[in-house]
Amino acid sequence: MNIQRDAAPAQRDERYRALLAVAQTITLHRDLAALFHELSDRLHDVVRFDCLGAVLHDAANNTVRIHILEPAEPVLSAGPENQLPADQTPAGWVLDNQKALVVSSFAEYSRWPAIAKNVQEYGVQSCCELPLTTARRKLGTLIFASKQPAAFQEADVHFLQLVTNQVAVAFENALAFQEIEALKDKLTKEKAYLEDEVRAEHDFGDIVGESKTLCDVLKKVETVAPTDSTVLICGETGTGKELIARAVHDLSPRKARTFVKLNCAAIPTGLLESELFGHEKGAFTGAIAQKLGRFELASGGTLFLDEIGEIPLEMQPKLLRVLQEQEFERLGGTRTIRVNVRLVAATNRDMGSMVAENRFRSDLYYRLNVFPLDLPPLRRRSDDIPRLVRHFTQRFARRMGRAIETIPSEVMDALVRYPWPGNVRELQNVIERAVLLAEGEVLSVDLPLGRDEWSRPGATPASTRLRTMEEMERDYIAEVLQRAQGAIAGKGGAAELLGLPPSTLRNRMKKLGLL
């Protein structure tokens, strides 16, 4: 390593020691301001300069931004006025030629009038500007400036280039660390925002009702939530299984960690394993990067698996293993990953019958059924319907900017008498539609619910019965299939008309009994 060509032995030794000190300084500091402050102190004894600066290069638009690093000014604090086209500055020449530039007098700055004024304000007469470059990118330049003319000789240039080479690596690491910290902060804020949105969307923590059947369920939730026991929530579609799962999480010691959910019926069978356990790059066609599964994302928190009965038999042993051992391997991987996950599962199926028919593993069922919670359908908690109606009416009226002041008694009586095959979700949809169509301050439910046929408790005339969401979906898909002449895939097929992948449509058709 040639520190300088023409220096005396004593000066050469002094600069060797200074270079070692610079290397030590770089390893100690991640903060750029502290780094350059100490760097300046170390170098003042061996090189004559009054000002230490850096010029950062923006390769996207070929501009540079000047920062005075020492004397103490905040690092990276230069305003927009200091952003200049690279070819109008000495830094542009240094970056293009990748070698040091020595300016011996102020008069030489006449070549770059865009910066001459700033140079004059600092009283700079001469400088040595060196390329701040790593093997990966051109960061910019490092400037050693002096208020004396001709302050830098060839021997100084060689030494300062060695210093700059080390600084470039430290500078790149520090900038990368700042970028990582900024991204972490951004992701933290996005996570908090999205969790707030999810909580608001699902009305988290606002389980409405005081009926005895619901209170019995909530007491069980309070009992099991502080433990790590697996919970299996059973109930008809629309009874609020996810809301109960969130309540279990929110009342548990894991409430500060992530609540991750996955609807097993909404994921194609071929992708479900990857969703649960993740995959390595190249594990299958299209796996262009490593992906973390829901179990890893939920580690330390709670994983909610809705429609657990839809998990294929061939995948059930893997789920059983992760529940028992809290470990698994990603798809296409060999490394065993350990997690700490509390599982809450939900289903609207008769799991006992599925086990008896060999459609669900008995050992997995017993592992899931540690603490069962059976949610009552809305028809078994009709006392809660008036409270739910008022709650949904207020919420949707507030959201839509409507003023609904009155719910007529005949409307409320009709809503209470209706058996609600779609449960709370169906009631919510009915009220949302009623609020949307309301023209005044009185809520009017323009449905068969208000007809005399509902005057008898439990009466459900076929001609007036409100169809469930599944029935509507089944009829709609059947209509589209008829239009597509029975074709599911291909051009003009039902999948194309519905904007769905053929596999997704087939899964829905199987569930709805159309296949």
CATH number (domain holding residue 394): 1.10.8.60
pLDDT at 469: 66
Two tokens, residue 99: 């070698």
Report, as ranges of residue numbers, the positions in the chain whose pLDDT lies below 50.
1-5, 72-81, 193, 197, 199-205, 448-465
The residue from 323, 346, 376 where one domain ends is 376
Q: Does a structural domain hold residue 174?
A: yes
Query: For the domain that residue 158 is a member of, what is the CATH number?
Result: 3.30.450.40
Query: For the domain that residue 371 is a member of, what is the CATH number?
Result: 3.40.50.300
Q: Are residues 350 and 493 in the same domain?
A: no
User: In degrees rounded to 5, what are phi and psi of residue 139?
Assistant: -80, -35
Residues 6+ apart with CB under 8 A from 253: 226
Q: Does a structural domain hold residue 36?
A: yes
Q: Does a structural domain hold residue 347?
A: yes
Q: Are residues 245 and 383 in the same domain?
A: no
Cβ(7)–Cβ(15) under 8 Å?
yes
Cβ(372)–Cβ(308) under 8 Å?
no
User: In degrees rounded to 5, what are phi and psi of residue 238?
Assistant: 90, 10
Q: Are residues 40 and 145 in the same domain?
A: yes
Q: Are residues 287 and 210 in the same domain?
A: yes
Q: Are residues 26 and 47 in the same domain?
A: yes
Q: Does a structural domain hold residue 341?
A: yes
The residue from 433, 455, 477 where one domain ends is 455
pLDDT at 31: 66
* C-alpha pair distances (Å), 491 with each of 60, 173, 485: 43, 53, 12
18-64: pLDDT as tens digits: 666 666 666 666 666 677 777 777 777 777 888 888 888 888 778 88
Cα 295 to the center of its chain, rounded Å: 15
Q: Does a structural domain hold residue 186?
A: no
Give the structural domain span for 231.
Answer: 202-376
Q: Are residues 367 and 383 in the same domain?
A: no
Class of residue 482 by CB neighbours under 10 A (exposed 0-12, middle 13-18, buried 19+): exposed
Q: Are residues 371 and 398 in the same domain?
A: no
Residues 6+ apart with CB under 8 A from 487: 493, 494
Count of structural domains, the chain: 4
Class of residue 187 by CB neighbours under 10 A (exposed 0-12, middle 13-18, buried 19+): exposed
Q: Does a structural domain hold residue 308?
A: yes
Closest Cα partner for 162 from 125, 128, 124, 119?
A: 128
Residue 296 to residue 280: CA distance in whole angstroms: 13
Cβ(319)–Cβ(215) under 8 Å?
no
Which residue has 């992708």 as its token pair? 271
pLDDT at 374: 93
The residue from 146, 179, 212 where one domain ends is 179
Class of residue 465 by CB neighbours under 10 A (exposed 0-12, middle 13-18, buried 19+): middle
Cα angle, residue 254 at apex, residues 250 and 260 outer, rounded to 5°: 75
Q: Does a structural domain hold residue 319?
A: yes
Q: Does a structural domain hold residue 192?
A: no
Q: Are residues 207 and 356 in the same domain?
A: yes
Q: Are residues 445 and 409 in the same domain?
A: yes
pLDDT at 174: 75
Q: Are residues 246 and 259 in the same domain?
A: yes
Q: Are residues 61 and 157 in the same domain?
A: yes
> Which 8-state DSSP code applies to residue 130?
E
pLDDT at 465: 45
pLDDT at 24: 63
Residue type, 467: R
365's enclosing H/E stretch is helix 362-368
Q: Are residues 159 and 91 in the same domain?
A: yes
pTM over 0.75: no
